[in-house]
Structure 1
Amino acid sequence: MLAAGEIERLQITGGTIYDPANAIPESFIRMNRIKLTLKKSPTVVLEAEVITPDYFLERSNEEICTSVVYHGKREKRLDEFFDVEGEYSDCIEIHGDLHRVRHVGRAMTRGEVIIHGDVGMHLGALMNGGGIEVFGNTGDWVGGEMKKGKIHIHGDAGQQVGAAYRGSMVGMKGGTILVDGNAGIEVGMRMRRGMIVIGGTARDFAGLQMKGGTIVLCGGAEIRTGAWMQRGTIISLKDIALMPTFAESGIYNPTFLNVYSRHLNTLGIQLPFAEVDGRYRRYSGDQGVPGKGEILIWEPVV
């Protein structure tokens, strides 16, 4: 026998009584997407770590509405800033200009977050699964120290994409970050594994202190690319200026790029690798560390 307060929590799915205290059917989770619509723009930074699929999955609409966010140093309810529709789901859709909203998708392990508009710093930081898609621009530290999952930005990204936080020795440890537009400084700083693809231009210090993984720069980069890198691969489809601590070590078409190209094709990204189209000039470094990383610069057939 259910208590009176529990009756309101019951949902009917597939002709059976659904109690959210028990296991949640996957079909119910996918069907019951949660929608957040910004109704009041924050006047200062809004810390919203609760906006994650893991947190929303186990909560009713009322519990989501009363979730605590921090407007500056003051505790506020989530529904003071957002209209909330839906409950008990790991699929979240957000509408509005969230450039002052931080930590969306922090440490998420499952589900998806879709954002229609700009979003602030630390999107998907410490992420360990699931997917985030943004139809807008993002702030700094997108996917900071993430381990798994995929983030796709259909606009520009700020600084330190997939990078380590200050004082941390290891940045991104896995997963994929796609940025259709440009990115700021220190893309992939201290990253260990994973892949970052920048469709536009990256600013200074792309791959700073890189320890592994792959960065693809479709539009090239500005100065000091690969500074102090120890391992890993940076691929640039445009000619870039390199530091003198990188030594040229051949012109060839790496066989592993065939595998990369097939994977990136599934993500809508074309990575050239055929000899009839051109070759890659390889540079090793940063020999000032010393390091064993590599930078591959595409040279198309003219």
Structure 2
Amino acid sequence: MKKIILDAKQSGVPPMDFIGVKLEDWLARTADEISRWRLPSVEREISVGDVWTVSVESLSHDESPVLLMRGDCSRVDGLGHQHRRGRIIVEGNIGRHCGACMTGGLIEVHGDAGDAAGSTVGTRGVGMNGGVLRINGNAGDLAGHRMRRGQLVISGNVGDGVASWQVAGTIRVGGSVGAQVAYGMRRGTLILHRPIELPSARFTEPIELTTPFAELIGIDREQTWSVSRGDRSIGGIGEVWMTDQSSLVKIQS
């Protein structure tokens, strides 16, 4: 297997669309061939080698393939679209639609992510459908929109519409959330480490959480956790888990 490394040649990578790039498509290519791969940008196509220094390292046969991107990629959209195997690691920020429609593997961002992380894109009705997307910073709006399977972990804050129209899967947010939390949620689990006041028209009153699965995903059971279910306005039965309710934050419904 291979480890493909992209080192940014400048402090800020120009706007680029990675939606047509699959890690598996690059595994059979040399560093020079990857350097010549052309990607859409705002006004013209740009070669990968114009922006990054490309290197390839060999891994043992039983290791998962890796794409490592170093540098500020906050204007790179669509990274990991339909990703299904291997690891994508970003040492820096990433743009919109990171992990959109992914079905497997791991994507880890050591920085912030733009809007629609782990979400759908274009006219597709299903967003993230498997795998693990881990964002160690903040994320923008519509994270996990129409998510069906997998795990989305955001260590920092997230914008509006997190878990909107979520069908299944697990989303975990360590920081604050914006408005319209879990709007249209059908099933799945949203775990919030900072409690909020959910609108009573859409979610049940919180009750104490009792489940053996908490330990499996690293939830601290020394804290008091609660669960609310919804979105009741559409007959949804998703679950929102929250920590201690004594410091609720009221948000826009």
Note whether the superposition's TM-score is higher than 0.5: yes
Q: CA RMSD in A?
A: 2.8
Equivalent AA in structure 1 for residue 89 of structure 2: E
Correspondence for 1:250 = 207
Correspondence for 1:46 = 16
Matched, 1:226 2:160: no
Matched, 1:68 2:38: yes
Q: Give the total of aligned pairs.
A: 241
Distance 1:79 1:140, change over 3 A: closer
Task: Report the CA distance between 1:130 and its aligned residue.
Answer: 0.8
Correspondence for 2:194 = 238
Counterpart CA distance in 2 for 1:278 and 1:208 is 27
Counterpart CA distance in 1 for 2:173 and 2:54 is 38
Correspondence for 1:299 = 244
Does the 8 A contact of 1:208 with 1:225 survive in 2? yes
Matched, 1:161 2:117: yes
Task: Report the CA distance between 1:219 and its aligned residue.
Answer: 1.3
Equivalent AA in structure 2 for residue 259 of structure 1: L
Matched, 1:210 2:210: no
Describe the superposition over 1:62-90 as per-residue Cα deviations: whole angstroms up to 9, x where unpaired: 43343333444645544344433448x68
Counterpart CA distance in 2 for 1:217 and 1:49 is 25
Equivalent AA in structure 1 for residue 129 of structure 2: K
Q: Secondary structure at the match of 2:153?
A: strand
Task: Report the CA distance between 1:34 and its aligned residue.
Answer: 4.1
Bigger relative contact order, structure 1 or 2, given CA contacts below 8 A and separation 6+? 2
Distance 1:161 1:36, change over 3 A: closer
Task: Report the CA distance between 1:40 and its aligned residue.
Answer: 6.6
Q: Secondary structure at the match of 1:79?
A: helix
Equivalent AA in structure 1 for residue 30 of structure 2: S
Correspondence for 1:191 = 147
Describe the superposition over 1:131-154 as per-residue Cα deviations: whole angstroms up to 9, x where unpaired: 111121111111001000111111
Task: Report the CA distance between 1:51 and its aligned residue.
Answer: 5.8
Does the 8 A contact of 2:139 with 2:157 survive in 1? yes
Equivalent AA in structure 2 for residue 126 of structure 1: Q
Task: Report the CA distance between 1:204 and its aligned residue.
Answer: 1.2
Correspondence for 1:146 = 102
Q: Secondary structure at the match of 2:233?
A: coil
Does the 8 A contact of 1:239 with 1:298 survive in 2? yes
Equivalent AA in structure 2 for residue 298 of structure 1: T
Map 1:111-122; keep pairs closer than 5 Å: 111-119=65-73, 120-122=76-78
1:260 equivalent among 198, 207, 217: 217
Counterpart CA distance in 2 for 1:84 and 1:128 is 22
Counterpart CA distance in 1 for 2:122 and 2:4 is 34
Distance 1:114 1:217, change over 3 A: same
Counterpart CA distance in 2 for 1:301 and 1:171 is 34
Distance 1:74 1:171, change over 3 A: same
Distance 1:125 1:34, change over 3 A: closer
Does the 8 A contact of 1:54 with 1:90 survive in 2? no
Structure 2 unaligned residues grouped into runs of 5+: 248-253
Counterpart CA distance in 1 for 2:105 and 2:68 is 14
Q: Secondary structure at the match of 2:113?
A: coil
Counting aligned pairs with the same residue, the percent is 29
Map 1:18-57; keep pairs closer than 5 Å: 29-30=1-2, 33-39=3-9, 45-48=15-18, 52-57=22-27
Distance 1:286 1:84, change over 3 A: closer
Does the 8 A contact of 1:239 with 1:297 survive in 2? yes
Equivalent AA in structure 2 for residue 217 of structure 1: V
Structure 1 unaligned residues grouped into runs of 5+: 1-28, 92-109, 262-270
Higher radius of gyration, 1 or 2: 1
